[in-house]
Amino acid sequence: MVASKRPMSTSPPETPERRGIPIPSVSSSPTASTGQSIAESLVGSFATNASSSVTAQTDKERERTLYPGRVNLTTYPDQHGIKPHQMVWGAPDAATRGAIICSRLPGSIKVRNALGAHSGSYSIYRALSIAMGSLSPSHKPDYNMTDPPIEIPFSTQWKNVVSFDPWGHLVPSVFRSDLDAGLDARPSIAITRAHIKLSEIDESHRRGDIVVDGTVVHKSRPLKDENGNEVDYDPGVEISVGKAAIEPVWYLPGVAERFQISESLLRRALFEETGGMYPELITRPDIKVFLPPIGGQTVYIFGPQEYLQDETKTLTLRVHDECNGSDVFGSDICTCKPYLIYAIEECIRTAQKGGVGVVVYFRKEGRALGEVTKYLVYNLRKRGGDSADRYFKSTEMIAGVKDMRFQALMPDTLHWLGVKKIDNMVSMSDMKYDAIVGSGIPILKRYDLPEHLIPPDSRVEIDAKIAAGYFSSTKTITEADLVKTVGRTWEETEH
């Protein structure tokens, strides 16, 4: 047998019970005898095992404890007991809108009004934690003292939002009665305050480009050596921001309309192209909300958040799509990090002049094609001749499309914030500009990345984008010009 050829381990695998992680015990479950709900019995068994010796269970026993019923692959609208919790998307008040319920726990499964799971792609890690016994599936979060420290108040523009729940940051307060009734409603937005520190901003401060004002920009505490003694070196600066993490929550009719396709086609594509992960996209047309397993976004606010809705205040915006290689590790093949840092500096300056700055950071790595595809394209470019005329063609050869970010949903964030006009947009993207203006928010000024901030090897990218229609205030590039822009070869990087 093939299995017998595998090398034998010298020690047994480290299962949760060997690590001392509480596993719900079948024998301790009182469900059958007392009529308690499955969720209550799981909580009890977790508590019992946490305070007593953990009895070993086979995986099959653990599975029967966690999921005692038969496997429900799907449900249908006319099944007995199915009655989705009231939810009116776009309603002007929380009571009419209703909480979003997607949990498959026994107390919620028949009243669900949403498909998918909270936390986007991180829902997979939650499933692993439950399977390994480190997390109870019926754990109830304690939301005391988690309310937002800054206010994003209701705006009539919330009716325009279809890609996330505009009430998501207010769930523990506005849907308190639902939580008290045992429904598993959860926040899909969290807002907090923070100081951010970036070495590039430190350098800008040392050059005199960014000044300390004690409100937006603060001097960092003195640096210390390994012995705890202060060192004679400029510690740089820190920036006060408000920030919000937003998880995706799709209102399917609105998303379909935004992309100008039918809801049925959208549902079928989501079902088929995720390997059939969500059959209820097909069998439950009555459920209109879907929490997709994708990355979310983070909003950074520079200056008073109340200025976001004040049209008399200057607002500077950068909408940035994730680029791990550049944003975090400083790769010079693209302009992502220089543009992000430049935008942060412009947001700081705007806030210090009495306005407000906003950076929206989307998890759309590699134009939403992913990092694997991005690196394959890099290989093709460097081996096939890295010229600007082949920039988009190289991506299309690998991915079949040059960009999958499709910015139609992006303006939702601005409508949630209550933004009514943008004075300064730090972006060259024609797709982002068109999406924002098309959603009813005017943009008064656009400006591109200053020439001296463009890394040499990213000239291929920037010239190709300008020729394709990206904004530039200083440069016009034709298709004929693109062959003249050539990137660095791999050999030139081997020092």
Burial class (CB in 10 A: 0-12, 13-18, 19+), 15: middle
List CB contacts of 386: < 8 A, sequence separation 6 or more. Answer: 460, 486, 487, 488, 489
Confidence of residue 59 (pLDDT cuts 50, 70, 90): confident
**What are 337-354's pLDDT values in tens digits?**
999 999 999 999 999 999
Domain match, 120 and 255 both = yes
**Of residues 20 and 195, more confidently modeled:** 195
Structure tokens that stand for 239 in this block: 């920036």
Residues 25-30 have a mean pLDDT of: 35
Indicate whether 326 and 281 sit together in one domain. Answer: no
- 67 has pLDDT over 50: yes
As a whole number of angstroms, the distance between CA 78 and CA 76 comes to 6
pLDDT of residue 495: 40
Q: State yes or no: is 318 an active-site residue.
A: no
Give the pLDDT of residue 191.
98
Q: Report, as an integer, the average pLDDT of 106-115.
A: 90
Tens of pLDDT, residue by residue over 283-332, are: 999 999 999 999 999 999 999 999 999 999 999 999 999 999 999 999 99
Phi and psi at 252, nearest 5°, equal: -60, -45
Q: Indicate the residue among 66, 86, 107 that finishes a domain.
A: 66
389 and 281 within one domain: no
pLDDT tens-digit readout, 131-150:
999 999 989 899 999 999 99
Phi/psi at 157 (5° precision): -70, -15
Question: Is 206 labeled as catalytic in the residue annotation?
Answer: no
Which tens digits make up the pLDDT trace of 37-53? 444 444 444 444 544 43
Residue 372 has pLDDT above 90, yes or no: yes
Establish if 208 belongs to a structural domain: no
User: Structure pTM?
Assistant: 0.86
**Tokens matching residue 157:** 């523009």
Say which residue the tokens 């950074």 belong to: 300
Domain end, chosen from 48, 66, 84, is at 66
Question: Could you tell me if residue 130 is inside a domain?
Answer: yes
Confidence of residue 108 (pLDDT cuts 50, 70, 90): confident
Same structural domain for residues 137 and 257? yes
CATH number at residue 454: 3.40.50.10990
Amino acid, res. 258: R
Residues 261 and 303 in one domain: no
Q: Which of 247, 256, 246 is nearest to 288 (CA)?
A: 256
Residue 443, pLDDT > 50, answer yes
3-state secondary structure the chain: CCHHHCCCCCCCCCCCCCCCCCCCCCCCCCHHHHCCCHHHHHHHHHHHHHHCCCCCCCHHHHHHHHCCCCCCCCCCCCCCCCCCCCCCCCCCCHHHHCCCECCCCCCCCCCCCEEECCCHHHHHHHHHHHHHCCCCCCCCCCCCCCCCCCCCCCCHHHHHCCCCCCCCCCHHHHCHHHHHCCCCECCCEEEEEEEECCHHHHHHHHHCCCCCCCCCEEECCCCECCCCCECCCCCCEEEEEEEEEECCCEEHHHHHHHCCCCHHHHHHHHHHCCCCCCCHHHHCCCCCEEECCCCCEEEEEECCHHHHHCCCCCEEEEEEECCHHHHCCCCCCCCHHHHHHHHHHHHHHHHHCCCEEEEEEECCHHHHCCHHHHHHHHHHHHHHCCEHHHHHHHHHHHHCCCCCCCHHHCCHHHHHHCCCCECEEECCCHHHHHHHHHCCCCECCEECCCHHHCCHHHHHHHHHHHHCCCCCCCCCCCHHHHCCCECCCHHHHCC
User: Does 281 map to a domain?
Assistant: yes
Exactly one of 284, 349, 390, 405 is catalytic; name it.
405
pLDDT confidence bin for 469, thresholds 50/70/90: confident
Same domain flag for 301 and 268 = no
Q: What is the mean pLDDT of the chain?
A: 87
Share of the chain above pLDDT 70, in %: 87
Domain for residue 477, yes or no?
Answer: yes
Assess whether pLDDT exceeds 80 at residue 35: no
**Same domain, residue pair 57 and 132:** no
pLDDT at 167 over 70: yes
Q: Which domain holds residue 46?
A: 3-66
Give the chain's radius of gyration (CA, Å): 26
Q: What is the number of domains present in the chain? A: 3
Both 10 and 121 in a single domain?
no
Whether 42 is covered by a domain: the verdict is yes
Pairing label, strands 289-291, 217-219: unpaired
Compute φ and ψ for 428, nearest 5 degrees: -105, -5
**In a domain? residue 232:** no
Centre a 10 Å sphere on the Cβ of residue 31 and count the other Cβ atoms it contains: 18
**Catalytic choice (403, 412, 448, 463):** 403
pLDDT in tens, 3-26: 433 343 444 444 433 333 343 333
Is the pLDDT at 209 greater than 50, yes or no? yes
**414-439 pLDDT per residue, tens:** 999 999 999 999 999 999 999 999 99
Is residue 410 predicted with pLDDT exceeding 90? yes
Q: Residues 407, 300: one domain?
A: yes
Q: Are both 331 and 388 inside the same structural domain?
A: yes
pLDDT digits (tens, 9 = 90+) for 217-264: 999 999 999 999 999 889 999 999 999 999 999 999 999 999 999 999
Let me know if residue 228 belongs to a domain: no
Query: Which residue in 320, 323, 341, 339 sits closest to 454, CA to CA?
Result: 339
Residues above pLDDT 90, as percent of the chain: 66
The CA-atom distances, in angstroms, between 375 and each of 335, 380, 403, 406, 455 are 16, 9, 15, 21, 19
* Same domain for 345 and 267: no
**In the predicted structure, residue 90 carries a pLDDT above the cut 70:** yes
Residue among 306, 289, 313 at smallest CA distance from 167: 289
| Cα gap 280→113, rounded to integer Å | 11
Domain boundary among 257, 291, 325: 291
Summarize pLDDT for 449-464 with one digit per residue, the tens. 998 999 988 888 888 8
Task: Confirm whether 222 is domain-assigned.
Answer: no
Q: How confident is the model at residue 475 (pLDDT cuts 50, 70, 90)?
A: confident
Q: Is the pLDDT of residue 129 over 90?
A: yes
How far apart CA 415 and CA 254 sit, in angstroms, is 15
Q: Judge if 126 and 21 occupy the same domain.
A: no
